[in-house]
Amino acid sequence: MARLNVNPTRMVLTNLKKRLRTARRGHKLLKDKRDELMKKFLGVVRENRKEREIVETMMKDVNSRFVMARALMSDTHLEEALIYPKQKVTLEASSRNIMSVEVPVFEFSTEGGGEDIFPYGFAATSGELDGALSALQQVTPHLLKLAELEKTAQLLADEIEKTRRRVNALEYVMIPNLEETIKYIVMKLDENERGNLTRLMKVKDMMLEQAHHYKERQLEA
Own/partner pairs for 111-114, CB < 8 Å, 24+ apart? Answer: 111/87, 112/86, 112/87, 112/88, 113/86, 113/87
User: What angle (nearest 5°) sits at the alpha carbon of residue 193, between those of residues 190 and 199?
Assistant: 145
pLDDT at 51: 95
For residues 95 and 209, which has the higher predicted lDDT (pLDDT)? 95
Phi, psi of 109 (to 5 degrees): -140, 155
Identify the top-confidence range among 32-46, 55-69, 74-88, 122-136.
Answer: 32-46
What secondary structure letter does DSSP report for 112? S
Average pLDDT on 83-91 reads 75
Which band of pLDDT confidence, cut at 50, 70 and 90, is reported for residue 112? low
Residue 171 pLDDT > 90, yes or no? yes
Average pLDDT on 129-145 reads 86
Which band of pLDDT confidence, cut at 50, 70 and 90, is reported for residue 76? confident
Q: Are strands 88-98 and 101-111 parallel, antiparallel or unpaired?
A: antiparallel
The pTM score is: 0.76
pLDDT at 111: 74
21-49 pLDDT, tens digit each: 999 999 999 999 999 999 999 999 999 99
